[in-house]
Structure formats: C-alpha cells, structure tokens
Structure 1
Amino acid sequence: MIITVGNTKGGVGKTTIALNLAIARALAGKDVWVVDGDRQGTAQTALTIRAESGRTPMVACSVYSDGATLRSQVQQQKDKYDDIVIDAGGRDSTALRAALALSDLLVVPFSPRSLDVWALADISNLIAEARSMRDGLRAVAILNNADTQGSDNKEAVEALADYPELEFLDIAVCRRKAIANAAGQGLAIKELAPKDQKAIAEVESLYNRVFASI
C-alpha cells in the first residue's frame, strides 16, 4: 500500500503524521519504507535519530526530492515492502505530483486556520489533475494541530465542503507538545515517555481510521 501524506501548504504537521503512521505500522509488524519527498529531509533526519538511538523496529527511509527519481525508485522497489509512506509537499513540487501519481491514498493534514483552509484549493486542484490521469487515488483530509476548545475546528471542517475532491475523516489531532517531541526523537507518540494518553488516543484513532479507509 502506498500512502502519501502531503499538502502544498507548509507547517501543517505532515511529517509528524507521516512518521506516526509509518512507525506505528512497523510496530504492527509490517515492513515499511518511508520516502521523504521534501528537500528539507526532516523525516529522514528523525528516522536517522531513531536508528542511532538503537530504537527498534528500524524504519527504512530514502530521500527523493526530484519527482522523476521518486517515481522510478518507488516503482522499482514497491514490491519489497508491505507499505510505503511518502512525506511530500510544503509546496507544489515534482515530488508531490509524482507521489500523487503513485499513491493509493493521500492524507492531507490541515490546521483550523483560515490560511490553511484556503490553501486546500491548491491540493484539491492537484488531486483533480492526478485523477484525470489515473483512477484509484483516494484523498482524505484530517484536522491536525487542532484546538482543544473553541469553534475554529468546526468552522474549518465546514469549509471543506468547498473542496469536493477531499473526503473528511472525522479525526482531530490536537496541538500537543508530546507529539512534536516524539517526532523530533524519531518516535511514534506511543513510544514516548512519560505517556500522554490523550495524544496517544488521538494518533491511534488517526492510524485506525487511515488504514481502515484503504
């Protein structure tokens, strides 16, 4: 299964989501390959820290920020893995476009902020373009860096109606320091000590919904 976590808007937490999905999948006994399609290489840095700390299971990771390279490498190696998680985006790039052409599922994290919601128009256009060239791409949006209270979450979700290319998964992962701290150490949230049970519950709900949706 090839899953891309992407958005043309930066700062929405796509790398954190990609890491949590990939590591949780590896903890479930799957052979997982993370493809970092972002030229900043943040996912690779996190997984290098994980490997150097001796944490198991180790998760394979490669960086391909060029779309042609990403496409050819994934096509050549996809049968070696149970799941491939591609971290792509932050801008409209050749890597993101290549990832959309290869993926079974696109997960689009977005934050409950006006600029983030408006930016969904760009990724929606890319999804429509990818679907015009191949069938089978499912695209779901998840609320990330959500507020723990207030009306912004609800208003952001309601605004998704303007983007029919995206299906909303009824998931909200709140802005929690523990989630960021875990990712910075190359850990899934459930591996971090001390435990943040609310953060764990939110991310596990995300994991279950994403893989149940495929």
Structure 2
Amino acid sequence: MSPGKGLKRSRRPSLVARCREAGGIVIGCVQTKGGAGDSTLAYNLAHEYAQLGASVLLIDGDIQQTLVDAANARTVAPILTVMPYPHESLWQDLPRLRGGYDVTVIDGPGHHVAMTMAVITAVALDKHGVLLVPVGASIADVRPTRRDMAPLLARAEGLVPWKLRARTVLMRFDTGETVTTTVREALAEPPVVAAPLAAEGLARRTIYPRSLETGLAVCELDSRSAAKAEVAAVAREVAELALSDVVLK
C-alpha cells in the first residue's frame, strides 16, 4: 500500500464554521458620501452569509432606516435579523448586541459623521472586524472619499494596537469596461492606503436597486446571476480578511 492510501483526508472547516469558531466576525460598510452603495453592499453581503448557513445580525445605523424598510418589503420569511440602531453608543454596545451571531454586518449612515465614526470605532475595536468603504468608479467619487474617509480611518487605527483591516470596494463600474488607470492610481495614493482596493467589487446592475426595493437580496432574486457571483466573491474575500491574524503595529 502506498503511503497515505486509505487514510482519510482532513477537510478544512467551512467559512461559516470558522467564523463561528472565532466567536463571530464584524463587517462595517461606511461612507460619508451619500449614494456610494454602502446599504446595497451591506444588505447583500449579510444575506449571502445567511444563505451559507451563518446566523447573521444586520444593523441599520442610518436614521433613515433604509435596510429596515427593505426588510419590511419582503414577501417571504426573513433569513437573518435586522436591527435598527442609529445610536452613537454603538461602539460601546456592539459586543453585547452581536453576541451569539456568526456574522454581524453594520450599515453606516452616510452624511452623519459622528455616527459614521461610531461604526468605524466599533468595527476597529473588534479583533475580527473589517471596514469596507464603497466608492464609485469615477474620480468625482474617489476624491471626496480620500478627503473625508482617510482621517476617520486614521483616527480609529489610533485606538487599537493592531493595523486596521479595511478595504475600498469599487461599486457601479460598467461591465465590459476596464476601470481607468487614473481611478486605480487615485485609490492607491495616500491617504487611502489604510483601505487598499479590494480584489472584488459590484458592477452597475439593475438587480442591485431591485434588491432594496423588494427586500430580496440578489442571492434570492437570481442565484445564478453575475451579481450573485460578485457578492459571493466579496463575501469570501472579506471573511478571509476578518479571520486572518491581527498584525500589530
């Protein structure tokens, strides 16, 4: 018998099992620029993890309650818990709120800087936290993101002994078109270095606004769609980042 023949191969635990073993992961979608796509990103990521079998808490940190409204528009049973929590004490309350969940996703409020900072701080303080900064694929979107978000991320990183886990997620880019070199170079320049560009992003697709209108995430609307594949790719990348070892400064 050849070496190893007949022996059972050890299988790597599933992504959900690893999140559970870690005590849960936390993902915050934040922007100070309105209409960047943070609600779309948060809603669909949360449902993607839920469909994988994770217990998911989706926190709506916006006083406008975009995600609460989306959840209320559903015509089928929910697959996760949606909680409105537009309170600046979130950074203190999150450990209590997220207890028992495999994945917690937080949608920031946009123009409310103090609440946005509360979300950023809450995620930064968690050893398995990841901040996502959605940004449109144009210089007009990149410039205010670099100007407004970088100081908030730097402030949060100063609160913890480890390097901030953060990624910029490209949104609403046209499929079939290469994102301009100018946009990529602008995203790579300091001070956005604290949130390097994620490998995956969400293209401009009509199914995304429909997901918030109907309350059904893209994984529920069309499980074979390109949008579903995009969200799944972002979900994997983010979870792996959250589960990676912290890097001390």
Q: Deviations over 1:76-99 (max 9, x none)?
A: 222221111110031242221111
Which structure has more strand as a fraction of its residues?
A: 1
Is residue 20 of structure 1 aligned with residue 20 of structure 2?
no
Equivalents in 2 of 1:29, 1:131: separation in Å? 32
Is residue 130 of structure 1 aligned with residue 130 of structure 2?
no
Give the residue type in structure 2 aligned to 1:102. Answer: A
Identity %: 29
Aligned residue for 1:213?
Answer: 241
SS of the residue corresponding to residue 24 of structure 1 reads helix
Query: Are residues 9 and 196 of structure 1, via their aligned partners in 2, closer, same or farther at CA, if it must alter by over 3 Å?
Result: farther
State how 1:160-175 maps to structure 2 within 5 Å.
Answer: 160-162=187-189, 163-175=192-204
Query: Are residues 166 and 76 of structure 1, via their aligned partners in 2, closer, same or farther at CA, if it must alter by over 3 Å?
Result: same
Once the two structures are TM-superposed, the CA of residue 196 in structure 1 deviates from its matched residue by: 6.2
Q: Which one has the largest radius of gyration? A: 2
SS of the residue corresponding to residue 197 of structure 2 reads strand
Equivalents in 2 of 1:72, 1:102: separation in Å? 7
Give the residue type in structure 2 aligned to 1:3. Answer: I
Unmatched tracts of structure 1, length 5 or more:
none
Contact kept? 2:47, 2:219, Cα under 8 Å: no
Coordinate RMSD, CA, aligned: 1.8
Once the two structures are TM-superposed, the CA of residue 177 in structure 1 deviates from its matched residue by: 0.2
Equivalents in 2 of 1:17, 1:89: separation in Å? 13
SS of the residue corresponding to residue 69 of structure 2 reads helix
Comparing 123-132 with 83-92, which one deviates more in the overlay? 83-92
SS of the residue corresponding to residue 89 of structure 1 reads coil
Once the two structures are TM-superposed, the CA of residue 151 in structure 1 deviates from its matched residue by: 4.9
Give the number of equivalent residue pairs: 209
Unmatched tracts of structure 2, length 5 or more:
1-24, 124-128, 243-249
SS of the residue corresponding to residue 20 of structure 1 reads helix
Aligned residue for 1:83?
Answer: 103
Q: Deviations over 1:115-166 (max 9, x none)?
A: 2100122111100000111234311011111122445444322211222111
Contact kept? 2:50, 2:56, Cα under 8 Å: yes
Contact kept? 2:30, 2:120, Cα under 8 Å: no
Pick the aligned partner of 1:99 from 119, 127, 135: 119
Which structure has more helix as a fraction of its residues?
A: 1
SS of the residue corresponding to residue 12 of structure 1 reads coil
Is residue 65 of structure 1 aligned with residue 89 of structure 2?
no
Contact kept? 2:33, 2:111, Cα under 8 Å: yes
State how 1:17-56 maps to structure 2 within 5 Å.
Answer: 17-50=41-74, 53-56=75-78
TM-score by length of 1: 0.89
Pick the aligned partner of 2:139 from 88, 109, 114: 114
Give the residue type in structure 2 aligned to 1:67. Answer: E
